[in-house]
Structure 1
């Protein structure tokens, strides 16, 4: 009886260990990741405005159909990245993501930034150069330090009405994003 319970307990523990290992290893084996999806959009060092999501159509990125999205992909190994532009007066947000899709930094216009977006993204070495004043930056630049070099930035604009969507897409297309060497 005790031997049977020990075998049962050992089986449950072994099954738990195997389950945890599979859960941790499976994402590493995935061929289609957030990074590969963003890379397929061709947003390297420039902003790409994503097309509107149609009701009932496939939505692999899980986007909100009411929001206008822009994505920019940068690699800080090439130098610091900057994003500049004048945003609409309505709600907007920006999020910097690492290669795995984890948010490194996020803000909205409700943080007192106003309409002008001036964002500089630096890795640790570039931040040290910035502190030593070896990198020229403009006044009022919002500084973000990232732990990894490959990043992507998502900008979201929320038009009050669908009739304004096209104008918001044009504003988003005018945003400058990329690495300055």
Structure 2
């Protein structure tokens, strides 16, 4: 009887270990990830206004059809990245994601920022240069240190009425995203 229980316990432990290893390795084997989907949109160092998600249509990025989205893919290995501009007087949020699709920073206009977005993204080495005042930044810039170089920024706007969506999309298109020139 004890031998049978030990075999059963061993089987359960081995099955659990195989299950955990399988669950943890499957995402690494995926050919299509959030990062590859973002890269295919060609939003490198500029804000791309995403088309409105239509109910019932494919939605690979799982976006809310009620919101308007702007997307910018950046690489901090090229230097610090800045997102700047003015957004409409309605709810908006900015989220910074790493290549795995995990949010590393997020803010909204309800954080007391107002309608002007001035965000600087720096990696650890650039933050050290910033601390030594070897990188000049504008006053009022919101400084964010990222743990990885490959990032994408998603700006979400919530138009209060559908008729306002085109104006909100124009505002998104005016945002500047990428390294500062010269």
* Pairwise TM-score range, normalised by the shorter structure: over 0.9
CA displacement 1:40-95 (0-9 Å, x = unmatched): 11011111110001111111111111100011000000000000010101000000
**Residue in structure 2 matched with residue 73 of structure 1 by the alignment:** 73
Structure 1 length-normalised TM: 0.98
Tell me by how many angstroms 1:180 deviates: 2.9
For 1:150 and 1:57, locate their aligned partners in 2 and report how far apart those are by CA, in whole Å. 29
Tell me by how many angstroms 1:179 deviates: 1.9
**Structure 2 counterpart SS, 1:151:** strand
The alignment status of 1:62 with 2:71, answered yes or no, reads: no
**Residue in structure 2 matched with residue 163 of structure 1 by the alignment:** 163
Matches within 5 A, 1:74-93: 74-93=74-93
Give me the CA root mean square deviation.
0.8
For 1:39 and 1:140, locate their aligned partners in 2 and report how far apart those are by CA, in whole Å. 31
Structure 1, unpaired ranges of 5+: none
**Residue in structure 1 matched with residue 111 of structure 2 by the alignment:** 111
**Residue in structure 2 matched with residue 152 of structure 1 by the alignment:** 152
The alignment status of 1:97 with 2:111, answered yes or no, reads: no
**Residue in structure 2 matched with residue 17 of structure 1 by the alignment:** 17
The alignment status of 1:31 with 2:46, answered yes or no, reads: no
For 1:26 and 1:160, locate their aligned partners in 2 and report how far apart those are by CA, in whole Å. 40
Whether contact under 8 Å (1:75, 1:179) holds in the other structure is: no
For 1:29 and 1:56, locate their aligned partners in 2 and report how far apart those are by CA, in whole Å. 29
For 1:161 and 1:96, locate their aligned partners in 2 and report how far apart those are by CA, in whole Å. 26
Structure 2, unpaired ranges of 5+: none
Structure 2 length-normalised TM: 0.97
**Residue in structure 2 matched with residue 178 of structure 1 by the alignment:** 178
**Residue in structure 2 matched with residue 140 of structure 1 by the alignment:** 140
**Structure 2 counterpart SS, 1:53:** coil
Whether contact under 8 Å (1:91, 1:109) holds in the other structure is: yes
The alignment status of 1:41 with 2:41, answered yes or no, reads: yes
For 1:111 and 1:3, locate their aligned partners in 2 and report how far apart those are by CA, in whole Å. 62
For 1:83 and 1:59, locate their aligned partners in 2 and report how far apart those are by CA, in whole Å. 26
For 1:62 and 1:175, locate their aligned partners in 2 and report how far apart those are by CA, in whole Å. 23
Tell me by how many angstroms 1:6 deviates: 1.1
**Structure 1 counterpart SS, 2:73:** strand
Whether contact under 8 Å (1:95, 1:103) holds in the other structure is: yes
**Structure 2 counterpart SS, 1:77:** helix
